[in-house]
Structure 1
Amino acid sequence: MSSTPVSKPSAAQADNMQNPISSNMPEHLSLNKWEDTGFEWAGEIEPTSFERLSAILTTEHEQEKIQLTANLYRRNNVLHLSFKLAGDVWLTCQRCLQPVATDLTDDYDIALLDDESQVRLVNEEQDYLLLDEVITEQSPERLLPLKKLVEDEILLKTPMAPKHDDCEMTIEQFGEIPEEEENENPFAALASLKGKL
């Protein structure tokens, strides 16, 4: 039996460990509650649960759930939202009109800045958003629109005109294509007059 003392987590750490791990992705995160202690969420989400994404998904193929892990944390006095997506969505190929899979698997990290003065605290390559522009709902607590931010990144990842890599556009031909007649060059007559004048 070991006599090493076991450190008990603080109340804030214990609350943080009980972050939901489920399939019900939160629409919003309360920054009043989570911005100092951090927040983690992991689960599976239906692509059709995103309203704007749902409008471009194909109905010709069954959509599979997307794996998502999200983490709200503070580094260098700057709040960050990082998340990892794993999975595909099925869109409509703009050439053959058949379903085509688009891989969403990627890591994302967005700095959430209180104001423009914090830009100097993040790397030049770092994506960032101003919290005043992101938090639009007026309420007593500051609510970060988690689901909307994730959907924004998914929409940026999906191509505007999805197509299969090896897709050839199918063209149906009706009738024969008429051969173009060679039109006489209008300057040919002038060329013949050149030597006669």
Structure 2
Amino acid sequence: MSSTPAIKPSALQADNKKAPVSTSMPEHISLDKWADAGFEWSGEVEPNSFDRLAATLSTEHEQSKTQLDAHLYRRNNVLHLAFTLTGEVWLTCQRCLQPVAIDLSDDYDVALLENDSQVRSVNEEQDYLLLDEVVTEQSPERLLPFKKLVEDEILLKTPMAPKHDDCEMSVEQFGEIPEEEESENPFAALASLKGKL
């Protein structure tokens, strides 16, 4: 009998699937733990789980989950939060007051800078934030507000006044519109006197 333990294939190798990191979207990412090692999260997110976004969502249409694939990584000594959103949200059209679908599908990439000197390390088109402004909670470890940053980007993607491309403005009338009474023109009396004086 051999003293070497038998190597069993892991469930990941057997199923050839990626194991989920977590079933629910994390509120924060520990920078002390993951800034250098990198962090990945994938899953479906309910649009109503974002507090500020939920206030703008249409209540007349069922919201479907959006797919989120996020990756925290370091490139050229600059920390980046990149994520891909796939899905849509339903807002209220400001013309007809009916639900309108807003597509959120896009790739997002935000550079997280330690200080202003790192601005030279990112492209001019690159969105960036200073970590000191983002990591504001006082705790023993530096926590990146992951969920809040994703929600910020979603809110920037959604229009302030959503509307269908082709719809008429909704006008509701309550009661009868009173007919205007014909009133006598005050200058008509002066016109009649013009020839007499």
**1:175 deviation in Å?**
3.8
Structure 2, gaps ≥5 residues long: 1-17, 186-190, 192-197
* 1:105 alignment partner in structure 2: 105
3-state DSSP of counterpart to 1:53: helix
Say if 2:71 and 2:81, in contact at 8 Å, map to a contact too.
yes
**Partners of 1:163 and 1:177 in 2: how far apart?**
34
TM-score computed with the length of structure 1 as normaliser: 0.78
Letter in 2 for 1:79: L
CA displacement, residues 98-148 of structure 1 (integer Å, 9 cap, x when unaligned): 111110001000000000000001111110000000000011110000000
Aligned CA RMSD, in angstroms, stands at 2.3
**Partners of 2:124 and 2:156 in 1: how far apart?**
20
TM-score computed with the length of structure 2 as normaliser: 0.78
Is residue 88 of structure 1 aligned with residue 88 of structure 2?
A: yes
CA displacement, residues 142-179 of structure 1 (integer Å, 9 cap, x when unaligned): 0000000000000011110111111111335654876x
**1:96 deviation in Å?**
1.1
Letter in 2 for 1:120: R
Letter in 2 for 1:141: E
Structure 1, gaps ≥5 residues long: 1-17, 184-188, 190-197
How many residues matched?
169
> Where in structure 1 do 4 or more consecutive aligned residues deviate above 2 Å?
18-23, 170-178
5 Å matches for 1:145-160?
145-160=145-160
Percent identity of the aligned residues? 75
Letter in 1 for 2:44: E
